[in-house]
Amino acid sequence: MCLAFPGRVVEVKGDFAKIDFGGGTTKDQINISHVSAKEGDYVLIHAGYAIQVLDLEEAENMLRYWQTNVSWKCERCEIVDECSMGAIVKDINFKNKASFKVK
């Protein structure tokens, strides 16, 4: 069951939060114990439990990159060996999350 929806954290109360799903829909008592979310963050919610804080800056960069250059090639892969975007076939440690930085 992969069905999950994004929503904005309106208020945090311990393990739970009030979430705004947009279009006038808000829900109280969404369990956020498995994520580190603060007010204003967007989270992915599955059956009443948040599974991830969404990196919207990453999403925006990515869209912009694809919109301007469909033949995108990850420049990080040419600079560093560590990349969570594309694992080159060799034994490497993944420490940093690569991202699409538009130049």
Partner 1 sequence: MVLEGFRDPQLAKKISDKIHEYAKEIDEDLLFMHVCGSHEWTISHHGVRSLLPENVEIRSGPGCPVCITPADDIDTAVQLAQEGKSILAYGDMSRSKGSKGLSVLDTRPSGGDVRIVYSIHDAVITARKEPEKEFVFFAVGFDTTAPPTAYEILQGLPPNLSLILSYRYMPPLVGSVLKSSVLGIDGIINPGHSSTVTGMKPYYPDFLETRKPEVFCGFEPIDVLLGILMLMRQLKEGKPKLENEYTRSVTWEGNVAAQSSLDKVFDLAEGYVRGVALIPQSGFALKEKYRNLDAYEKYGLKKKGTNEQFIPGARCGEVILGLCEPTECPLYMKECTPQTPKGPTMISLEGTCKIWAEHRVITSIKSSKK
- By beta-carbon proximity to partner 1, the closer residue of 12 and 58 is 58
CB of 18 to partner 1, least distance (A): 16
* Residue the block writes with tokens 């490497």: 92
d(C-alpha 93, C-alpha 82), whole Å: 6
Sign of the CA dihedral 101, 97, 4, 70?
Answer: positive
- Interface contacts to partner 1, rule CB under 8 A: 1-4, 6, 22, 31, 33-36, 44, 46-49, 51-52, 54-56, 58-60, 62-63, 66-67, 70-71, 84-89, 94, 97, 99-100
